[in-house]
Amino acid sequence: METLLIILAVLFVALIVILPLVEKYAPKGESRDYGNITRFIFPLMAVLILAQMIRHFFF
């Protein structure tokens, strides 16, 4: 259980670091703006994984 939490914490921190870099160096030529969508998808997925893990282990 402790190893799983460590892995999830490392992945979440990596997301916080990688997401701004991807947005900074993304090509600007696209007509659609996906920046707002991608900003929320990964953190919401992390929250969903944590919620499912808590539900699985404690309920």
Residue 33, H or E segment: none
Can you give the residue ranges of every domain in the chain?
Answer: 2-26+33-58
3-state secondary structure of 55: helix
pLDDT of residue 51: 92
Q: Which residues contact 8 (CB under 8 A, 6 or more apart)?
A: 46, 49, 50, 53
Q: Let me know: does 46 contact 11? Beta carbons within 8 Å.
A: yes
pTM of the model: 0.41
Interval 14-59: pLDDT, tens = 888 888 888 888 777 666 666 677 788 888 899 999 999 999 988 7
CA 25 to chain centroid, in Å, comes to 18
pLDDT of residue 30: 60
Closest by CA to 40, choosing from 19, 9, 54, is 19
